[in-house]
């Protein structure tokens, strides 16, 4: 029987290939949507795991998380420096780190922060060391800059009136191990250097706000790249777009969020904000899955139509088999096995094609966003494969029973 089926499929290979492709494309559409949505959900959740609490000025919670955790460029209002000093003195806080952004280098975000945040962000250095002066920088694992590179930060896009700062050029002295977050593509510099290069901070650096507003490039006074980093921040300090807070306990985290959700401040759990985004993604996923299911039903209907026509065209062959003494159940098994084999191959190819498509899209998003999107199967996916195979088995019975009921004499006369 196996030899007969293989010979029959070889003889009808164009039609068999068309069936496999139809089923593979329909399956890949549904499987790819599920895998891609899961990759987005898992990747963003893992990227936000390292950030317990984010505090910023009142505004959009989503934009605050996208800017501070995922480093998506957006102008955020500055949070007064007094908020940072208050949090730094709070016994419920393990550490608090201001972050400043707005500058870039060859498409990579330059983020000003503190050494304590850099140490907590990654599990050590792939090479080099942590910055120690205002003129030093640390590159993320995927930032694409080598040790010793001199970086001149650009403020805004040139086509939008942006300019390159000439007051200071950072030297890359370290490269972090991968973190799986958007910060892997960033370049991290001391927050006080970001303040000073933008005309904020202490006047003894010779770069006051007035001189910053007076002009750019050659009008910018030079800063001292060897100036030591001071992270105690005594006295008045400039504001920051966001503060990343590490509470000591889970209870402290909730108390801090409650305390800083009021006049002048906005405190959010990144994971909580992402949950609301997942709900939106879930709605979109449901629509896409419904579209994929509709496509699969249309393919199933087309296959039934094609196989019914195919059985009609094979009446003489089936009649000859019956006339030669082939039992009815053998004819049924041959027809059913042929169609089920094609459907099963199409389903397997569809899962492989959906996985490849999701992996390609995830890699492109990861290259753009910086955080990793894990494309992986779960137990439910194998249940879906089982359901599809069960449906294929039932679908194959339609032409098989048509062949089973066909009388040999009538088939040979037709």
Q: How far apart are CA 92 and CA 267, in angstroms?
A: 15
Beta-strand runs (E) in 49-107: 53-56, 93-105
| Interval 281-288 mean pLDDT | 68
Short-list 37, 54, 38, 41, CA closest to 275: 41
| Interval 148-167 mean pLDDT | 70
Domain ranges in the chain?
A: 2-44+280-413, 53-268
End-to-end Cα separation, the chain, in angstroms = 25
pLDDT in tens, 49-91: 888 999 999 888 888 988 888 888 788 888 888 898 899 999 9
| Interval 402-414 mean pLDDT | 57
What is the secondary structure of 308-369 as a DSSP string?
HHHHHHTHHHHHHHHHTT--HHHHHHHHHHHHHHHHHHHHHHHHHHHHHHHHHHHHHHHHHH
Which of 30-34, 156-160, 208-212, 234-238 shows the lowest mean pLDDT across its residues?
208-212
Q: How far apart are CA 131 and CA 172, in angstroms?
A: 8
pLDDT on residue 16: 78
Number of helices (H) and strands (E) in the chain: give both, helices first: 13, 12
pLDDT on residue 378: 85
Q: Is the pLDDT of residue 9 over 80?
A: no
Q: Is this model's pTM higher than 0.85 or not? A: no
| Interval 273-293 mean pLDDT | 73
Q: Residue 154: count other Cβ atoms within 10 Å of its Cβ.
A: 18
203 confidence band (pLDDT: 50, 70, 90)? very low
Q: How far apart are CA 59 and CA 87, in angstroms?
A: 20
């Amino acid at each position: 029987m196996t030899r007969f089926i293989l010979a029959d499929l070889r003889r009808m290979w164009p039609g068999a290939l068309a069936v496999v492709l139809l089923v593979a494309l329909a399956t890949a559409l549904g499987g790819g949507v599920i895998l891609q949505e899961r990759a987005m959900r898992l990747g963003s959740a893992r990227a936000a795991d390292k950030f317990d609490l984010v505090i910023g000025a009142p505004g959009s919670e989503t934009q605050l998380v996208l800017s501070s955790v995922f480093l998506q460029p957006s102008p955020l209002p500055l949070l007064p420096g007094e908020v940072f000093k208050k949090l730094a003195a709070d016994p419920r806080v393990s550490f608090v780190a201001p972050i400043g952004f707005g500058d870039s280098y060859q498409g990579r975000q330059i983020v000003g922060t503190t050494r304590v945040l850099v140490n907590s962000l990654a599990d050590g250095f792939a090479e080099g060391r942590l910055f120690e002066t205002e003129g030093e920088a640390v590159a993320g694992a995927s930032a694409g800059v080598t040790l010793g590179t001199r970086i001149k930060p650009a403020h805004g896009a040139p086509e939008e009136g942006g300019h390159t700062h000439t007051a200071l050029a950072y030297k890359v002295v370290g490269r972090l191990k991968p973190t799986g977050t958007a910060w892997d593509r960033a370049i991290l510099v001391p927050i006080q250097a970001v303040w000073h290069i933008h005309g904020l901070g202490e006047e003894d650096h010779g770069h006051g706000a007035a001189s910053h507003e007076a002009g750019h490039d050659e009008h910018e006074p030079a800063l001292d790249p060897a100036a030591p980093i001071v992270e105690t921040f005594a006295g008045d300090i400039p504001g920051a777009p966001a503060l990343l807070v590490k509470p000591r306990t889970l209870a402290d985290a909730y108390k801090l969020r409650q305390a800083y959700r009021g006049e002048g401040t906005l405190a959010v759990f990144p994971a909580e904000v992402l949950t609301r985004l997942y709900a939106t993604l879930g709605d979109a996923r449901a629509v896409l899955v419904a579209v994929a299911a509709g496509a699969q039903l249309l393919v199933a209907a087309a296959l039934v139509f094609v196989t019914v026509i195919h059985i009609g065209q094979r009446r003489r062959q089936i009649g000859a088999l019956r006339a030669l003494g082939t039992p009815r159940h053998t004819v049924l098994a041959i027809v059913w096995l042929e169609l089920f084999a094609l459907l099963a191959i199409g389903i397997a190819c569809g899962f492989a094609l959906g996985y490849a498509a999701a992996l390609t899209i995830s890699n492109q998003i990861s290259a753009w966003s910086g955080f990793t999107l894990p494309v992986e199967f779960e137990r439910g996916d194998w249940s879906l494969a089982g359901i599809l195979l069960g449906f294929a088995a039932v679908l194959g019975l339609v032409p098989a029973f048509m062949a089973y009921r066909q009388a040999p004499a009538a088939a040979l006369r037709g």
